[in-house]
Amino acid sequence: MKYRFMFVFAVLVTGLLAASASAADVKWDTAPDGMPYCKVQSTDDAAFLLGNYRIKVNTHSDGIYELMSGERCWARFNADPARPGYGRNKAVAVVDNRETQLVGAGSLATRNGKCEVYAGVGFVRYDYDLGNGVKCSRMISVMPSEKVNDGNPVFLVTVTFHNTGSGTKRISYDEAFSPCFVPASYQLIPEKERPLRYHIDTEISFRCITASFRPVQQKFIQFATPTARAVDEFAPQSVFLYCDKAFLVVNDGQLKASVDEFKLRSRRKHTFHIAIGFANEDSKALAEAVIAKAEDNPFGAFASMWKKHLPDFSDERDQERRMAMYTSAHRVEASAVYSKYFQETFIPGLADIAYRFGENVSNRDHINAALQACHTNPELARSIIRYVMKQSGFDGIIPESNKGYGYIPSDSYKENNIQLDVLNAVAEYLEKTGNYDFLEEWITVYPLERGEMQSVMTILERYFLYLRDNPSQSASRLAMQSAYLDKFIVQMERSGRASAAFLEALKEYSAKAGEHFRSIDDYGIAELPYILESKAITNYDKRELLDEAMDAGSADLRAVPGLSTFDGIEASSLFRDSLKKIDMENVPVKDAAWILYCYYRLKE
């Protein structure tokens, strides 16, 4: 079956690209506030994404983190030149003149029995046993974005030393990262062959070090202004490091907080904070705002903020389902990103491709992620819809993706799924919010530099005209290809979504269409929710399709919303069984968003 190949293809791509795809054993539990967290049970590398709309921190079980942003071009700001898709940072503790490396290969973080790693909502914590009764906790936390298109682009490292032994200990500590700006699209290009390289300039002020990146031309390239769309990055954000109790130094190209030696008496604790983030604004104010809001909580410095920000699932009696919902909601919020060019926040449907290749693929996935946001965060759903609409052409075409800083590559391939998905998302948004004034809002359309504006209703009308006036080249002339995967896998995919949406209207054309639209054999797995919700298809045919489609791993979830319309018990069972097949610590944001949508559809 074609959809099986499509699913396998997608799984292979995701498996190759996912930064968090390694299979470390984890054990799940619940924090006192009801939020889920997991403990890494092995030394295998695992990655856990922390973030808000303006910063991404991909943390690894060995203590390494990748400081990333998609606000302009997707890029890493502490990239490891020798290891694409990885970061460079250091943490060193010295106890009574004995130095211990806390992060990286061969460090204490990778030794069983010497370090325990915990990851949860908004935090990752490393608990070290330094010997001689000295314990050290190093916790990375990110506060949530409280508003769409906003957020504090800073993460917090909270370091606590605890002397559980006898006698006073002499302790010092260094926390550092190596500023190295590499756009995601440059990662796999040899350094000498990249169009641009970035010179680092540093500036030191009280308790704060800033590194800025200046682009230097290596190949012929036309420089763009900071506000103009471009494939390459000509105006990178700056990064900074700030510490509340440290001497700050620049050492061998590193930004380092060096906490001078202090004495720690028996049974006493000593805590200090290090703030790291983007410095295009008032760095000190951003850092101090984060430190001021930090809680003394081993389950995240901003645990109460996340508890308030995420949807409330406390009334869900099934513990595993409740933990899956909180984990999915956090994954979505940590992945959502503010685009400075489009001035909207969206959920990258295939985030791993963005992190690896710097391309926001694809708009159909972004807009599908908006469905759950209609229930959990309507303002975010509205922004996602606007983000996709801003990329629309005058003729109603919506591109698959964009890359760089708001750059949309040309593509002659046409499909109809994205337009249908937008119409579906707008309907969901209007139904859940009742905000019909949204249809009268004005949107600046691509390219945004021109300042041309259209109303939402006008844009929707253009989508309808596009669907009406651009039929396929098949015998029926009724609907074109349905998905971007078609051009890689099949010559002509039957348009399941178009069929489901317009089946009643198509009946009068059935003689002309012949068998072209009557087969259910060649529908892609992505079409299931739309076909199963169609009232024009018998339940017998729907079940026949389900029998063919089941046991596709997390893709089974695609069937849940449609199945719930005629068999709620079976849909709930399918949802429960599908969740058991998913590694929640590594759940892709695309699946996390659909899990949430299924949950709310089942509640209805």
pLDDT of residue 597: 97
pTM of the model: 0.89
Closest CA to 240 of 256, 258, 216, 260: 256
Closest CA to 7 of 597, 559, 448: 559
In a domain, 110, yes or no: yes
In a domain, 326, yes or no: no
The contacts of residue 538 (CB under 8 Å, 6+ apart) are none
CB 533 within 8 A of CB 500: yes
Rounded CA-CA distance 417/422 in Å is 9
Position 437, amino acid: D
Rounded CA-CA distance 84/431 in Å is 44
pLDDT of residue 549: 62
Cα Rg of the chain (Å, integer)? 25
Q: What is the largest CA-CA distance in the chain?
A: 91
In a domain, 77, yes or no: yes
Strand partners, 183: 75
Rounded CA-CA distance 66/64 in Å is 7
In a domain, 216, yes or no: no
Give me the number of domains the chain comprises.
1
Look up residue 87 and give its DSSP letter.
B
HEC secondary structure over 210-257: EEEEEEEECCCCCCCCCCCCECCCCCCCCEEEEECCCEEEEECCEEEE
Judging by DSSP bridges, how do beta strands 182-183 and 269-278 pair with one another?
unpaired
State both tokens at 513.
């269409």
State both tokens at 283.
């760095």
CB atoms closer than 10 angstroms to residue 305: 17
- Collapsing DSSP to helix, strand or coil, 126 comes out as strand
Containing H/E element for 36? Answer: strand 36-40
Looking up residue 258, the CATH number of its domain turns out to be: 2.70.98.40
pLDDT of residue 175: 96
CB 145 within 8 A of CB 53: yes
pLDDT of residue 285: 92
Task: Report residues of the chain scoring pLDDT below 70.
Answer: 1-24, 42-44, 281, 412-414, 471-527, 549-555
In a domain, 63, yes or no: yes
The CB-side HSE value for 214 (13 A sphere, CA atoms) comes to: 5
In a domain, 138, yes or no: yes
In a domain, 3, yes or no: no
pLDDT of residue 16: 37
pLDDT of residue 511: 53
CB 556 within 8 A of CB 578: yes
Tell me the pLDDT tens digit for each residue of 422-474.
999 999 999 999 999 999 999 999 999 999 999 999 999 999 999 888 765 54
- Its domain, for residue 301, covers 38-184+241-309
State both tokens at 448.
């945004």
The contacts of residue 160 (CB under 8 Å, 6+ apart) are 136, 137, 139, 269, 270, 271
